[in-house]
Structure 1
Amino acid sequence: MFKLNRRTKSEYIFDNFNIIIMFLICGITLYPIWYVIVNSLNEGADAANGGIYWWPREFTLQNYEAVFANSGILTSFGVTIAKTVIGTITHVFFTAMVAYAISRRDLYGRKLYMMIGIVTMFFSGGLIPYFLLIRDLGLFDNFLVYIIPTMFNFFHLIIFVSFFRELPPSLEEAAKIDGANDFMIFIKIIVPLSMPVIATIALFQGVYQWNDYFAGVIFVNNPDLQPIQTYLYKVVAESSSNQMMMNAPGSITTKTVTSQSIKLATMVITTLPIVLVYPFLQKYFVKGMLIGSVKG
């Protein structure tokens, strides 16, 4: 006969207390997002009166119509998608190649390279020297400013190196006996075996590329090259929403749409895609942080 483990009264109270606390934390975290969504779905003039907390009082989609009527936001979406896809692929490939070289114990000066890389994690030259470097490289007002400077990240290299060091050396030895060079070993053997860590780093970089607005603010003046997050920054921080109202279709009037309602709708449009995708990919973040932490 098996005896069931019954919880004591104190354990029961403790578990329920934790559940209540977690619900409160989730509510506090999610409510600001819900508040923005609700007010973006309400008529702008009515929302200006306040008192909207849980449900739209005067439901309307004209705020979103006004946003999508502006061709600038569609262009910015295209730039964001392009830089996220291209930037993530190039970052993963280049960082993985460098990490594979660093993980090789026969690499001359490997410890020195690691020390130099660690220093860059804590110290930088500053914004002005970085801006001058970007300008002198011809990347100012260039789409490649989103790609080339982000091709390498030393923290991601450390994660890659930890994973590569766990791969058995016999795989490389067997490939070399068959006549494969280092590049072929990396492409044909290392990359297929490293899909878990590649997925993790791709997620890291993809989220960064989607959310990054700083590069578009500092290094890009051409509005056709600015990503959606920079577009959102300008709508919120400047008077771009007034211009968007002027470009709205004639059926949309300032009685139903205001600059504040357009700002809220723009915030929802720019943040909702990554918010919906992130929960499904959260497990890769945890797995990526644990790679190499347990040795067999």
Structure 2
Amino acid sequence: MFQLKRRTVPEASFDLGNNLLMLLICFLTLYPVWYVIVNSFNDGKDAMLGNLYWWPRVFSLDSYKAVFNSNGIMLAMGVTVAKTVIGTFVHVFFTAMVAYALSNRDLLGRKLYMTLGTITLFFGGGLIPSYLLIRDLGLLDSFWVYILPAAFSFYDLIIFMAFFREIPTALEEAAQIDGANEFKIFMRIIIPVSMPVVATIALFHGVYQWNDYFAGVIYINNSNLQPIQTFLYRIVAESSSNQMVSAMAGSIQKSVTSQSVKLATMVVTTLPIVLVYPFLQKYFVKGMMIGSIKG
């Protein structure tokens, strides 16, 4: 029989204080989200009276009806889903392919490539040079402005390389003996055994693509190509939000305010990525540990 070790008073006090601190941090993190949800499900006019903290006082779905009645938000949602899926696939594939090449220590010019890539982690050209480059490439008002500039990340490349170096070289040598070329080895051996890091980078970049609003603000003038986050940004930031709300609310305008529509839009835009995250969390944690033990 195993006997439980009795904890001393200082140890028990430390555990209690640590648990209370963690509960406080969780509350401070989650309550703002809960506050937004509560107000989004409350009648917009009633919410303006204040003192609404824990539960909806006058439950109403009118703000959500106003959101989903808008053709603009559904089109923006489609653009966001498309750029998240396509952008994540392109980013993961291209970054992994470059990382696989650079993980080969015999690659000609490898040190130069790594030096140039490391410099980009600390220095950037700035907004104006980036805008001029995007313009000269013909990507303004183009869906590909979301995909091509974000197709590669040197930070993600480092994570890929740390994982690839842990793959036994015997796998590659056996494939080479069977006549496989480098691309076939990459597609049929390296990628299948690297799914934890692939899922991790996919989560990183998928969240980035979903939350990115800046590209839509700077590079897109066509309202049909704006993502959902840019749509939300314009509702929150523009002085014409009341006109936007009037167009979105339609016949239910009496119980809808600009604030209630903003909060409902925040919930709608955040919910999908929140639902996906728990399924990839275990890969996220494992990916963050890559390279922490082995250099």
Q: Shorter-chain TM-score category?
A: over 0.9
Q: Report the counterpart of residue 143 of structure 1 in structure 2.
A: 143
State yes or no: 1:257 paired with 2:256: yes
Q: Report the counterpart of residue 37 of structure 1 in structure 2.
A: 37
Task: State the alpha-carbon separation in 1 of the partners of residues 153 and 16 from structure 2.
Answer: 42
Q: Report the counterpart of residue 153 of structure 2 in structure 1.
A: 153
CA 39–176 in structure 1, closer or farther in 2 if over 3 Å, else same: same
Task: State the alpha-carbon separation in 1 of the partners of residues 249 and 2 from structure 2.
Answer: 72
Offset, 1:291: 1.0
Q: Report the counterpart of residue 238 of structure 1 in structure 2.
A: 238
SS of match in other structure, 1:59 = coil
CA 215–191 in structure 1, closer or farther in 2 if over 3 Å, else same: same
The answer to which of 19-28 and 164-173 deviates more is 164-173
Q: Which runs of 5+ in 2 are unaligned?
A: none
Task: State the alpha-carbon separation in 2 of the partners of residues 220 and 70 from structure 1.
Answer: 20
Offset, 1:166: 1.2
State yes or no: 1:276 paired with 2:275: yes
Offset, 1:274: 1.6
Q: Report the counterpart of residue 115 of structure 1 in structure 2.
A: 115
Aligned 8 A contact 1:95 1:156 in 2: yes
Offset, 1:233: 0.4
Task: State the alpha-carbon separation in 2 of the partners of residues 189 and 227 from structure 1.
Answer: 36
SS of match in other structure, 2:158 = helix
Aligned 8 A contact 1:70 1:244 in 2: no
Task: State the alpha-carbon separation in 2 of the partners of residues 231 and 248 from structure 1.
Answer: 12
Offset, 1:281: 2.6
Letter in 2 for 1:241: S
**Mapping for residues 81-96 of structure 1, pairs under 5 Å:** 81-96=81-96
TM-score, normalized by length of structure 1? 0.96
Q: Report the counterpart of residue 177 of structure 2 in structure 1.
A: 177
Q: Report the counterpart of residue 188 of structure 1 in structure 2.
A: 188
SS of match in other structure, 1:150 = coil
Task: State the alpha-carbon separation in 2 of the partners of residues 142 and 77 from structure 1.
Answer: 17
**Mapping for residues 65-80 of structure 1, pairs under 5 Å:** 65-80=65-80
Q: Report the counterpart of residue 98 of structure 1 in structure 2.
A: 98
SS of match in other structure, 2:20 = helix
Offset, 1:278: 2.3
Aligned 8 A contact 2:235 2:244 in 1: no
State yes or no: 1:198 paired with 2:201: no
SS of match in other structure, 1:58 = coil
Aligned residues between the structures: 295
Offset, 1:250: 4.8
Task: State the alpha-carbon separation in 1 of the partners of residues 62 and 240 from structure 2.
Answer: 17
Q: Report the counterpart of residue 168 of structure 1 in structure 2.
A: 168
Aligned 8 A contact 1:76 1:228 in 2: yes
CA 11–294 in structure 1, closer or farther in 2 if over 3 Å, else same: same
Offset, 1:5: 0.8
> Once superposed, what is the RMSD of the aligned Cα atoms?
1.5
Q: Deviations over 1:191-232 (max 9, x none)?
A: 111111111111111111101111001000111101000111
Aligned 8 A contact 2:249 2:256 in 1: no
Task: State the alpha-carbon separation in 2 of the partners of residues 96 and 250 from structure 1.
Answer: 48
The answer to which of 2-11 and 147-156 deviates more is 2-11
Offset, 1:11: 1.2
Q: Which runs of 5+ in 1 are unaligned?
A: none
Q: Deviations over 1:230-253 (max 9, x none)?
A: 111000001453233322465413
CA 134–285 in structure 1, closer or farther in 2 if over 3 Å, else same: same
Aligned 8 A contact 2:66 2:250 in 1: no
Offset, 1:276: 2.9
Task: State the alpha-carbon separation in 2 of the partners of residues 291 and 30 from structure 1.
Answer: 29
Task: State the alpha-carbon separation in 2 of the partners of residues 28 and 234 from structure 1.
Answer: 28
Letter in 2 for 1:282: Q
TM-score, normalized by length of structure 2? 0.96
Task: State the alpha-carbon separation in 1 of the partners of residues 248 and 182 from structure 2.
Answer: 57
Task: State the alpha-carbon separation in 2 of the partners of residues 267 and 178 from structure 1.
Answer: 54
Aligned 8 A contact 2:100 2:164 in 1: yes
Aligned 8 A contact 1:66 1:244 in 2: no
4+ residue stretches of structure 1 with deviation over 3 A? 248-251
Task: State the alpha-carbon separation in 1 of the partners of residues 61 and 241 from structure 2.
Answer: 16
Task: State the alpha-carbon separation in 2 of the partners of residues 163 and 263 from structure 1.
Answer: 42
Task: State the alpha-carbon separation in 2 of the partners of residues 279 and 129 from structure 1.
Answer: 38
